[in-house]
Chains A and B, each alone.
Chain A
């Protein structure tokens, strides 16, 4: 009998180079184990949709169909409906950004903007500057266009502009295609870029002639502290990305991009190629939902809920976590970033955490180069306070058990002992 080579994917070998790094990961399967009902999940940044008044949405969606059925079900304009863009102008004015409807395009969530901007700006090998860690979805969107991603570390004041300055100096004028930043309650870092750093970042961008993309999904979910002016309010050349996912619902897939007209023109061409136009039905529904005033009370209620959960998680971390742990306490948003001693590998420890009924996202998911394995992102947005406390307690147990093992290795000199010893271990 002849030997047969078994082929599962007969198209293998014909896929584009940009897809070659997309692999099945063990971490993905660990998350599948996390679909069990007794699991406490700190992994997904999912809005608390149960607080959105479904009757209002039904009324808005019904009115959209009854009153504008032909528009709702027809192709629409690529830039999105004028009425919704006018509402975006109102929203932006409230945070200090004056724009006209022609300055903005409605997108399928802010995620689509990340893909389209990368498509518009990036050739393989181009440099993109991001915070490190940064939003996983941005890394995924950018990496399909094969850039070299340079990560700038953060501290309590957000992106380290001194490191950025050094990096830009090394790269030279126009040495990067754009700087991508999440200034408010950064995902996953949990820190906010200070007003002073915002100005410095913009000056540097101007000096080196590099566009800035400001991604602001969480800006309106502020629990405390003063409003920080968006970068776009300080500089009209900044590209700003907004989303309705956190102030309404991600299920509608609605967001917006604001950009200088020439960029917006290219962006629109790319969008036409991607999807011709967004869903008019979703836009009409949103127009009607935001036409009332109840959404503001809902947003207040949501923000209060997230604040309670942030408080619950911060208190639980304080109570249960080992002294070696460091974490951020964000003034808003969804995420706390935890840093453990560099010798802890939180990617493999996730297996043990899942066994103990709790999940998180290991930090290396938020870096393009495998860094961050001693870190984790904890989403406080989705679990109730009591569950948060229990989940953090379980996680602390796992970490303490691991630390005990690591201490045994360190005592024997098998691994470096101090947190500083880890850098060279990659």
Chain B
């Protein structure tokens, strides 16, 4: 028998259902590959279960708060259990878009113009009186309003005019204490996954998303048939190598290890804008990372196995 792997999934996150789907698929794949697999829905018993079961490594199939923001990573380091995916700092940086976008700008990585608002800025400092400045600062409408820290496009609204901005902000702030107002970039939506192997970051073929509704929101993400996907993305060679290099760069820039997935828009101006980096990419039927892996002949079990080996073999 191979090593014992605990797969963490579910938990209190708003993305619980997606995480359970990811986790169950990972459990099945690792079982198929001969690992002793322990699927764990995250509850207050997690630590005692992990201490009693003493797994050789943890596969983190959690999405959203606690699973993707560094919390569980910090805990696993304290318990001295190897785990899949980026470490504490990379997770925390990528999770907070307000922070990772600042970092992109500092390092010259193109990202759409934006402004961040916290709930407290509105409640304590009267920030709502300055909303008229938003279009000017981010470069006009349409805009995208989204929670600064949330995955799966929950709470995301595309805003066409000033009248709808406050509602979109209030909606986004229901998902967390900070919201981002970002310039909408027309262009090609791309998801580019990066896997570490012995030679360093290996970028998988870019996946192109074409949502039928025009916005890659929660429903477009998880309803089969709502979005068309093309793998590899329909790009010319120069552009393809440019976006691939960019994905590798942000992977390294945030200090990611094992895996990451950068979401980009290739603007009509030819500039690839990085929207965000995901450190716990989805592993469901319709998820982008498994799709990209399949395009290079890596099936789902290969992918899960690869990530587990990365954790077990201490590829940091």
Closest chain A residue, CB of each to CB of B157? A348
Cβ contact of B218, chosen from A4, A24, A349, A402, cutoff 8 A: A24
Are the CB atoms of A12 and B225 closer together than 8 Å? yes
A141 at interface, CB cutoff 8 A? no
State A12–B229 Cα separation when bound (angstroms). Answer: 14
Residue contact A23 to B14, C-beta cutoff 8 Å:
no
Chain B: minimal CB distance from A401 (Å):
8
Given A3-B234, A4-B231, A415-B166, residue A352 in contact with residue B175 (CB < 8 A):
yes
Separation of A425 and B167 alpha carbons in the complex (Å)? 10
Whether B16 pairs with A4 at a CB distance below 8 angstroms is: no
> A348 with B174: in contact, given A24-B219, A26-B154 (CB under 8 Å)?
yes
Q: A1-B232, A37-B43 are in contact. List 9 more A-B contacts (CB 8 A).
A: A1-B205, A3-B231, A4-B230, A32-B17, A36-B16, A348-B170, A348-B174, A405-B123, A409-B169
Q: Which 10 A-B pairs have the closest CB atoms?
A: A412-B128, A32-B17, A12-B225, A8-B224, A6-B229, A348-B171, A348-B174, A9-B224, A412-B129, A24-B223
Residues of A within 8 A of B173 (CB): 405
| B295 close to A4 (CB less than 8 A) | yes
B interface residues, Cβ below 8 angstroms from A: 12-18, 20, 43, 119, 122-123, 126-129, 131, 154-155, 165-167, 169-175, 205, 207, 218-219, 222-226, 228-234, 285-286, 291, 295
CB <8 Å contact, B231 and A29: no
Output the nearest chain A residue to B207 by Cβ-Cβ distance. Answer: A6
CB contact between A345 and one of B154, B167, B226 (< 8 Å): that residue: B167
- Assembly CA distance A13 to B295 (angstroms): 25
- Known interface pairs A5-B228, A351-B14, A408-B126; A26-B219 also in contact (CB < 8 Å): yes
A344 to chain B, nearest CB (A): 8
* A12 x B224 contact (CB < 8 A): yes
Q: List 8 A-B contacts (CB under 8 A).
A: A8-B224, A30-B14, A32-B20, A33-B17, A35-B16, A351-B174, A355-B14, A412-B131
A351 with B175: in contact, given A3-B234, A8-B225 (CB under 8 Å)? yes
Verify B231–A8 contact, CB threshold 8 A.
Answer: no
CB distance from B122 to the nearest CB of A (A): 4
| Cα–Cα, bound, A3→B210 (Å) | 14
Asked whether A414 is an interface residue with its Cβ less than 8 Å from the other chain, the reply is yes
Q: Are B285 and A352 in contact (CB under 8 A)?
A: no
Interface: A315 (CB within 8 A): no
Q: How far is the CB of A375 from the nearest CB of chain B, in Å?
A: 16
Please give me the residue from chain A that is nearest to B172 by CB atom.
A348
Contact A414 B123, beta carbon cutoff 8 Å: no
Inter-chain contacts of B229 with A (CB < 8 A): 5-6
Q: Chain A residues with Cβ under 8 A from B226's Cβ?
A: 23-24
Q: How far is the CA of A411 from the CA of B127 in the complex (A)?
A: 11
Contact pattern, A 1-42, Cβ under 8 Å of B = 1, otherwise 0: 101111011001100000000011110111011011100000
Contact status of A411 and B128, CB under 8 A, knowing A32-B20, A405-B122, A405-B173:
yes
From A29, A405, A408, B14 is in contact (CB under 8 Å) with A29
Contacts of A4 in B (CB 8 A): 230-231, 295
Let me know if B171 and A414 touch, CB within 8 A: no
Question: A404 in the interface, Cβ–Cβ < 8 Å?
Answer: yes
Q: How many A-B contacts are there with CB distance less than 8 Å? A: 124
| B170 engages A405 (CB within 8 Å) | yes
Q: Check A345–B225 contact: CB distance below 8 A.
A: no
* Contact status of A412 and B126, CB under 8 A, knowing A6-B231, A345-B174, A405-B119: yes
B126 to A3, Cβ gap below 8 A? no
Which of A332-368 touch B at CB < 8 Å?
Answer: 345, 348-352, 354-355
A8-B286, A23-B219 known; A352 vs B126 contact (CB < 8 Å): no
Cα A5 to Cα B119 with chains together (Å): 41
Residues of A within 8 A of B43 (CB): 36-37
A304 CB, nearest partner CB in chain B, Å: 35
Report the minimal beta-carbon distance from A67 to chain B, rounded to whole angstroms: 44
A406, CB-defined interface residue at 8 Å: yes
Which residues of chain A are within 8 angstroms of B295 by Cβ–Cβ distance? Answer: 1, 4
Query: Which residue of B has the minimal Cβ distance to A406?
Result: B170
Bound CA–CA A3/B223 (angstroms) = 22
A28 to B230 alpha-carbon distance, docked (Å): 28
Whether A8 lies near B230 (C-beta < 8 A) is no
Measured CA separation A404–B167 after assembly (Å): 15
Q: Quick check: B155 and A348 within 8 Å, CB to CB?
A: yes
When distances are taken between beta carbons in the complex, the residues of chain B under 8 Å from A411 are 126, 128
Please give the distance in Å from B202's CB to the nearest CB on chain A: 16
Q: Which of B175, B205, B207, B224 contacts A348 (CB 8 A)?
A: B175
A222 to B298, CA, bound (A): 62
Neighbouring B residues of A36 by C-beta, 8 Å = 12, 16, 43
Least distance between A139 CB and chain B CB atoms (Å): 18
Q: What CA separation (Å) do A355 and B225 show in the bound complex? A: 30
The answer to whether B167 touches A351 (Cβ under 8 A) is no
Contact B230 A29 (CB under 8 A): no
Which residues does chain B contribute within 8 Å of A13, judged by CB atoms? 225
Complex Cα–Cα for A350 and B122 (A): 21
Nearest-neighbor residue (CB-CB) of A353 within chain B: B174
> CB distance B122 to A409 under 8 Å?
yes
Residues of B within 8 A of A412 (CB): 126-129, 131
> Do A3 and B233 touch (CB < 8 A)?
yes
Complex-state Cα separation, A128 to B126, whole angstroms: 47
Question: Which residues of chain A are within 8 angstroms of B205 by Cβ–Cβ distance?
Answer: 1
B222 touching A24, Cβ below 8 Å? yes
Q: Smallest CB-CB separation from A37: which chain B residue?
A: B43
B166 contacts A33, CB within 8 Å? no
Name the A residues within 8 Å of B174 (CB-CB): 345, 348-352, 402
**Beta-carbon nearest neighbor of A410 in chain B:** B128
CB < 8 Å neighbour of B225 from A9, A25, A351: A9
CA distance A297 to B38 in the complex (A): 47
Shortest CB-to-CB span from A349 to chain B, Å, is 5
Which A residues lie within 8 Å of B172 (CB)?
348
The residues of A that contact B127 with a CB separation of less than 8 Å are 408, 412
A6: which of B166, B169, B291 is its contact (CB, 8 Å)?
B291
* C-alpha spacing A30/B17, complex, angstroms: 8
A170→B131 CA distance, assembly (Å): 43
Q: Given that A348-B175, A405-B122, A412-B128 are contacting pairs, would A33 and B230 also be in contact in the complex, using a CB cutoff of 8 Å?
A: no
Q: Of A6, A13, A35, A406, which is in contact with the most chain B CB atoms at under 10 Å from its CB?
A: A6
